[in-house]
A = this chain, B = another copy of it.
């Protein structure tokens, strides 16, 4: 029940198995009570996030385990941000690997249920959480490595692009990309900026206009991911890669990372409110709501 789905349906017949699973669980998710952020545990290990922190190496692994497909709901985003913030404040934590505990998917992206039939206030809260996630990850002082062990459309792709390095499972059934246009939605400027910083202007223009989802091999070719390994090796390769990055003095690395990313981060930081207003105004339009509704209906029918 995720943004990327229609695109998957149309262009990736190999994902049918994944789809039936998604739509099924998506239906369950639809009946879930709205997330109440105030009740969230501030523990870094919520039900939906498991963080393994190895004090000896200084490396934490964040396992996303929000069934069925690690949708970035308001609730889940809040958990993720709290977990990240705790690690960020812990001086002994120098590196973070982000990965998924869900089969076949890294993260299916922003949760449509937080955009459909919701009040403008709810939509605004949701969007602020998306911004917060991006600001925290893209600006993290830690070394961040995405262990992309499954499909990673839309917001899932964004999350992986915030990291310093991306290792993806070399399974042609998986795909990655910002496919928002296929759903009639527009990736905001900071999604675009992040992608331009990753694959350049021209590849981004094509990718965003067409809402392209790339196979792992295609993603490697355009530089959307940095390395492909066998599915079983994604996490271990991430850990090995982290060792190389840990050899660099933290202070120099952090200043360098900030120099590269600060202009992009400052652009959103200076325009958060306007960006929230844009999103709310767009997403609450009758035409957009109707198209989201039809999309959800289609998923239910497929499930039935």
Task: Give me the interface of A with B, judged by CB distance under 8 Å.
Answer: 10, 164-165, 180-187, 189, 192, 196-202, 204-206, 208-211, 223, 226, 244-245, 247-249, 251-253, 255-257, 259-261, 291
Contacts and interface: CB of A to CB of B under 8 A. Distances in A.
B248 A182 contact: yes
24 contacts: A10-B247, A164-B206, A181-B249, A181-B252, A181-B253, A182-B248, A184-B249, A184-B252, A186-B252, A186-B255, A187-B256, A189-B259, A196-B201, A198-B202, A200-B202, A205-B257, A205-B260, A206-B226, A208-B256, A208-B259, A209-B248, A210-B244, A210-B248, A211-B248
B260 A181 contact: no
A192 B248 contact: no
Contacts of A182: 247-249
B205 A202 contact: no
A303 B57 CA distance: 33
Contact of A186 (B186, B259, B291): B259
Nearest to A187: B256
